């Protein structure tokens, strides 16, 4: 089993792009995928069926109770505004990043090895002290569309472009 994780954000119900990203996740078989928010509606989650998924709410995720219910139905981890977890001996903080100060404070605290976020629709791979901050980019309303893969033990980040 691999320790690599997939990262996606800001899918905004773009089913065509979601299907392309999910195809890559299913080919690469990461340990799980983290969705950094802005899913939009519960039915969109069905496209991730068969992919182990951890999620956070984004600022455009208005159907919170429906998203929580659909996550439970599909066997995904609980969804919340912020999720923290440990994987491969590394600590993670995940938040959409609607308030960038939340991301900056988590990184500056140096409590986490990785801080994952979305919201800006722009790729980010920044090392601040011991903490690496990663934004995979977006699958909607971006100059280019992308997802990311992270090898937690080495910190290697690979951005994968999703063709339009």
Mean pLDDT of 94-118: 98
Residue 1's pLDDT band, with cuts at 50, 70 and 90, is: low
Q: How many domains is the chain partitioned into structurally?
A: 1
Mean pLDDT of 10-25: 96
CATH of the domain at 125: 3.60.21.10
Residue 2's pLDDT band, with cuts at 50, 70 and 90, is: confident
29 has pLDDT over 60: yes
> What is the per-residue pLDDT for 164?
82
Q: What is the 3-state secondary structure (H, E, C) of the chain?
A: CCCCEEEECCCCCCHHHHHHHHHHHHHHCCCEEEECCCCCCHHHHHHHCCCCEEEECCCCCCCHHHHHHHHHHHCCCCCECEEEEEECCEEEEEECCCCHHHHHHHHHHCCCCEEECCCCCCEEEEEECCEEEEEECCCCCCCCCEEEEEECCCCEEEEEECCC
| 71-96 pLDDT tens trace | 999 999 999 999 999 999 999 999 99
Q: Domain range spanning residue 36? A: 5-161
Residue 110's pLDDT band, with cuts at 50, 70 and 90, is: very high
């Amino acid at each position: 089993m691999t320790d690599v994780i997939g990262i996606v954000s800001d899918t905004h119900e773009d089913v065509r792009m979601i299907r392309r990203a999910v195809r890559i996740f299913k080919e690469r078989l990461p340990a799980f995928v983290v969705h950094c928010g802005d899913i939009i509606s519960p039915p969109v989650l069905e496209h991730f069926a068969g992919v182990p998924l951890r999620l956070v709410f984004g600022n455009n995720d208005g159907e919170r109770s429906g998203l929580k219910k659909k996550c439970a139905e599909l066997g995904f981890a609980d969804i919340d505004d912020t999720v923290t977890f440990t994987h491969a001996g590394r600590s993670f903080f995940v938040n959409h990043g609607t308030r960038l100060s939340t991301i900056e404070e988590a990184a500056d605290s140096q409590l986490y090895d990785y801080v994952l976020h979305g919201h800006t629709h722009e790729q980010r791979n920044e090392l601040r002290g011991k903490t690496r901050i990663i934004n995979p980019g977006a699958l909607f309303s971006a100059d280019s569309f992308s997802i990311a893969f992270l090898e937690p033990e080495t910190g290697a980040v690979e951005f994968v472009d999703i063709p339009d």
